[in-house]
Structure 1
Amino acid sequence: MIKYITDKELRELRQKNEQHFRNIEAATKLRREAMKSKTGVVGNNFWSDFVAEQMNKGSIIQYPHGRVMCFGEASNYYRGQLKDYGSCKPTLFRGTLTESKEMILLKKFVSGMQIIALNKLIEPLHQVRSWKFGDIFTYMIAQHYGIRTKYLDITSNMEVALFFATCMHIGNNRYRPITEEDIESNIGKEGMIYWRIGELDYIEAIENRQSIYPIGYQPFSRCHKQYGYFMVGNENFDLNNEPNFNIYYFNRTPNLSKEIYEKFDGGKTLFEYDALAELKDMLDSIQSTKFFSEEVFEETVALEEFSVWDKDRLIKELNNQMGISIGGNSIKLSRQRRRAIDRKWSIESFVEKEGLAPGYRMVYTSPKA
C-alpha cells in the first residue's frame, strides 16, 4: 500500500517511535537494577519481569539464524530512501537485470569470499575473541561496512530511516542536510519510507517462518547504532513487492532534514568511529582485491549454496569473467596494529557505554509439590 502522510501524521508517528525507545530505556534501567538485587527479577510477578525482558537492551535470545543480544523489542520496521528508485534491492543485485545467471552466481561467490576474508581479518581482535553476547554475524558486519551482499538493511528506529530519507550522501559515509536546490533539481519534495508493523513477527513465528532478522549488538558499532535488522534477498527480490511493507511518502523540507541531521551529529552517531573504521584501508582492499587465498576459496566453496559447484570451472570463470585469481595471500592484521586496537576496547566499558543489561532469557519452572 502507498500512502501520503501529512506533517501532523509524521509528527505523531515520530512521537510514538520516541516513546517506544523511552520505554526500552526504562525497562533496561529496571533490569539493570534487578541484576543487583537478591532475586534478579523485575517487580514481584512473572508478567512484569517478562515485559521488562522483552523491552530490555541486552536480552540474549535464540533465533533461527543464531543467538542475538537484542536492543529491545521492535514495534515497527522501516527503511528510508532519498527517493523512489523504482526498486529496492540488496546491494549485490542492483543493476543486474541484464546480467546472465552465471555472472550473478559469480558475484554471489565473490561476496562470500569477501565476507570470509573479513572474518579472518577481525578474528584476532580482542573484541571478537572475548565477545560473549550472542553470535557474531560477520556477513551483516560486512554489509554495514560497505561490502556488497545479498542482505537488505532494515531498521527498527523511524528516526534512523528518516536520516537516510532526508540527508544527502556525499561519499565515504558522510552526509549533509538537503537544500532547496536538491529538492528542485534532483530528489523532489517527497521523502520515502518503507514501513512494516512489528506485530507480524508473532504471526510469522506461529507459522514457523521469519522474513526480518535482528542483528543485535555486535563487536563493531555500526549495526546496533543503526538499530539494524535484515532481510535475505536474491536477484528477484524487491522490497516494493513485499506485501507486508507499506510505502509512506512525506513532505521533506530542508528544516526537517537539518533537524534529523543534527540529531545524529551529522551521521557520526550512526557511523561511529570504531576498530573497523581504523581498518578502512584493509576493508577497501578486501572489496577491491583481485586475489583471494586458496583457504578463503575453499571455505567459500564449502558453504551449502556453493558446495555443488565444480571447483576447476569456478576458478576458470572467476578469472575469465571477473579477473579474479585464486592463490594470493589473505589480508592479515599486523601484531602491532592489532595490539593498538585491542588497548582501546573492553567488554566492561562496552556494556556501560551502551547502558546494557546482558543476560539470557530466564526459564521459569513450577515449584515442586
Structure 2
Amino acid sequence: MILSELIQTIHNEIVKRDLMYEHTPANKAILEQKCGGTFEAVLTGKGDTKCLIPQVGTLHFLFRGQGEEYIPCSPSLYRGNPTDVEVFVERMRLVVFRRLLASHPVVEQFFWKHRFLVDEEGLAQHYGLKTSVLDLTSSLEVALFFAMCPYDSEHDRYCYHNDGKEHEAVLYVFLPIFDNEPIPMLDGNGFLNGSIKPIGLQAFRRPGAQQGYGLHLSKEESLKAYMYRFTFTCEESEAYYRKFADGDGLWIKDELVDKAKSITKQEVFSFDVFNETFCDYRPKGFSGNKLKKCLPNGIKLKTKVEDVVFTAEERTQIIERWNNDLGKSMASTIFRKKWFEHEGVEDSNDGQQRIVGIHNEHAFRSLKQLETQQMLLMITCPDGPEGAEWKNYTNTPCTRKKMKAPDNTQWTKVPARMEDMFGNPYLTEKDWWI
C-alpha cells in the first residue's frame, strides 16, 4: 500500500463512522475551524478533575506511526528485558520528574487551580524518560510524520529521508472504545480511563502539539491494534518534515527539555525519593532493605540530594512570559461544551416534532458521555478498519468477556440531552493570570 492509498483508506473509514451532522458542508467547515489546535475540558469522573482532550470532531481512531515494525512493540521502560530493580531506578527518575513539574508555576497556579489533569508519566514519556507509556495521537498527520521522519538522537531532532529510495513504515490504528483489546469495554467506566488515556494539553506544549494520548502497559502486556504497512518516497518524507516546521512544530524545545535530560542521567537519589518510589512502585518480592542492597552499580542513595526544580529566577521568567502572552494564547484553545438534559420529543399540532422538557444546564461533558456516544457508533459500525492486520505480539489473552445478544430486558435507554455541538473558549484573563 502506498501513502496516498493509506490516507484514502483511513479517510473512508472515518467518513463511514462520522455522525450525520459532521457531513454537512457548513458544519464540517465550522468543525475544522474549531478543532484546529483546540482542546475540550472533559470531566474524568474523579470529582471536578478535567482532562484537556484534543478536539477532532468525533474521535474514531487513535494512531501510532513507526519507521519500522518492532516485535514486540514495548514501552521504553521494558525494552531490553530489564530487571525489576532496573525498572525501579527508572521509577525513581519519574518521581524526581514529578517534583520538577510541581515546581513549575503554570502547573501550580493554572492547571491545579482549574483542576486540569497533569499527566506526569505522559509528560515524562514526551520528554525522554523511560516509562510504561506508548505514544498515540488522534492526528493521522502527526502519526505519519513520526512514521516517515527518522529521529536523529545525536542532535535530538527529526530529519527526512533523502537517499532517493522508497521506504516502508507502519501505522497502528486503535479504536478507543476497545482500549487495547479486540472487543469493546462495556463496564461504563473505562473509556479513555483504562489502558488508553488522554495526555492532551499540558503546561508544556509538546504533547498538545502532537495531540497526544498514551497507551499504558505493564511488563507482561502487549500492544493490541490494527496495523497497516505502507511505502513512501523521499519527497513525501520531506513534505511531512516541512509540514511541521522541519519537525520543530512537534518536537518543541522549551524550559523542560534540558532539565528532563539531566534526570534521565541521574544516578544519585535521596532516601526521600527512594521511599516515595518504593511506596508508589514497590517491586514484588522486595523489602526496602533488600532493594537498597540490589541497586545497580553507580546508583547511590544519600540523605540529602537537591531535587531538579525550576529556580526562583526561572519561575519569575516563566510567569512573565505566561502573563505577557502564553497564558492568553493557551486559555484561548481550551473549550467546553455545555449541555442540557431533556425529556425527548413529542409531536406538535403542525405534524413536526419538538424537543420538550429542557432543563439542568451542565458546564462540561464527561468521559462517561463520550463513552455512550462511542458505544452507539460502534453498534452502527462494529468492524475494524478495512484491510488492516490485527497485531497482538505476545498473544496476551483478552481480559474481557465477549458480548452476548441482549434480550428485551437488558437494553439500557440512553438519557436524551442537548449539547453545544462546537463548544467555545470560556477562560477569562482573571482565570489564566498568575
TM-score interval, normalised by the smaller of the two chains: 0.7 to 0.9
**Is 1:248 the counterpart of 2:228 in the alignment?**
yes
The Cα shift of 1:348 comes to: 7.3
The Cα shift of 1:108 comes to: 2.4
Q: Which has the larger radius of gyration?
A: 2
Equivalent residue in structure 1 for 2:301, among 318, 323, 326: 326
The Cα shift of 1:212 comes to: 1.5
SS class of match (1:301) = helix
TM-score after normalising by structure 2: 0.65
User: 2:62·2:176 contact (CA, 8 Å) conserved in 1?
Assistant: yes
Q: How does 1:170-249 map to 2 (within 5 A)?
A: 170-171=152-153, 172-180=155-163, 183=165, 189-198=167-176, 200=178, 203-206=184-187, 208-209=189-190, 210-239=194-223, 242=224, 245-249=225-229
**Is 1:61 the counterpart of 2:40 in the alignment?**
no
What whole-Å deviation, never above 9, does each CA across 1:112-156 have from its counterpart, x for those lacking one?
211221121232222111222521111111110000011111111
The Cα shift of 1:262 comes to: 0.7
User: 1:108·1:150 contact (CA, 8 Å) conserved in 2?
Assistant: no
Q: 2:5 is matched by which residue type in structure 1?
A: E
Q: 2:238 is matched by which residue type in structure 1?
A: K
The Cα shift of 1:306 comes to: 4.8
Query: 2:244 is matched with which residue?
Result: 264
Q: How does 1:139-178 map to 2 (within 5 A)?
A: 139-171=121-153, 172-178=155-161
User: 1:60·1:134 contact (CA, 8 Å) conserved in 2?
Assistant: no
What whole-Å deviation, never above 9, does each CA across 1:215-240 have from its counterpart, x for those lacking one?
1211111111111111111223332x
User: 2:202·2:208 contact (CA, 8 Å) conserved in 1?
Assistant: yes
SS class of match (2:185) = helix
User: 1:190·1:251 contact (CA, 8 Å) conserved in 2?
Assistant: yes
Q: 2:185 is matched by which residue type in structure 1?
A: E
SS class of match (2:44) = strand
TM-score after normalising by structure 1: 0.75
**Is 1:114 the counterpart of 2:93 in the alignment?**
yes
User: Structure 2 vs 1, CA of residues 193 and 336 (structure 1 numbering), >3 Å: closer, same or farther?
Assistant: same
User: Structure 2 vs 1, CA of residues 303 and 154 (structure 1 numbering), >3 Å: closer, same or farther?
Assistant: same
User: 1:59·1:361 contact (CA, 8 Å) conserved in 2?
Assistant: no
User: Structure 2 vs 1, CA of residues 355 and 249 (structure 1 numbering), >3 Å: closer, same or farther?
Assistant: farther
Percent of pairs identical after alignment?
A: 25
Query: 1:127 is matched with which residue?
Result: 106
SS class of match (1:266) = coil
Rounded Cα–Cα distance in structure 1 between residues aligned with 2:173 and 2:284? 36
4+ runs deviating over 6 angstroms: 16-25, 28-31
Q: Count residues in correspondence.
A: 321
Unaligned runs of 5+ in 1: 32-54
- Bigger proportion of residues as helix: 1
Rounded Cα–Cα distance in structure 1 between residues aligned with 2:92 and 2:250? 27
Rounded Cα–Cα distance in structure 1 between residues aligned with 2:92 and 2:281? 14
User: Structure 2 vs 1, CA of residues 92 and 262 (structure 1 numbering), >3 Å: closer, same or farther?
Assistant: same
Q: 1:152 is matched by which residue type in structure 2?
A: L
User: 2:341·2:358 contact (CA, 8 Å) conserved in 1?
Assistant: no
SS class of match (2:215) = strand
RMSD: 3.4
The Cα shift of 1:356 comes to: 2.0
SS class of match (1:302) = helix
The Cα shift of 1:195 comes to: 1.1
What whole-Å deviation, never above 9, does each CA across 1:268-307 have from its counterpart, x for those lacking one?
1112232313xx0x32221111111122112111216559
User: 1:112·1:300 contact (CA, 8 Å) conserved in 2?
Assistant: yes
User: 2:104·2:315 contact (CA, 8 Å) conserved in 1?
Assistant: yes
Rounded Cα–Cα distance in structure 2 between residues aligned with 1:27 and 1:133? 26
SS class of match (2:141) = helix
User: Structure 2 vs 1, CA of residues 276 and 7 (structure 1 numbering), >3 Å: closer, same or farther?
Assistant: closer
User: Structure 2 vs 1, CA of residues 156 and 90 (structure 1 numbering), >3 Å: closer, same or farther?
Assistant: same
User: Structure 2 vs 1, CA of residues 262 and 205 (structure 1 numbering), >3 Å: closer, same or farther?
Assistant: farther
The Cα shift of 1:346 comes to: 4.0
Equivalent residue in structure 1 for 2:77, among 92, 97, 116: 92
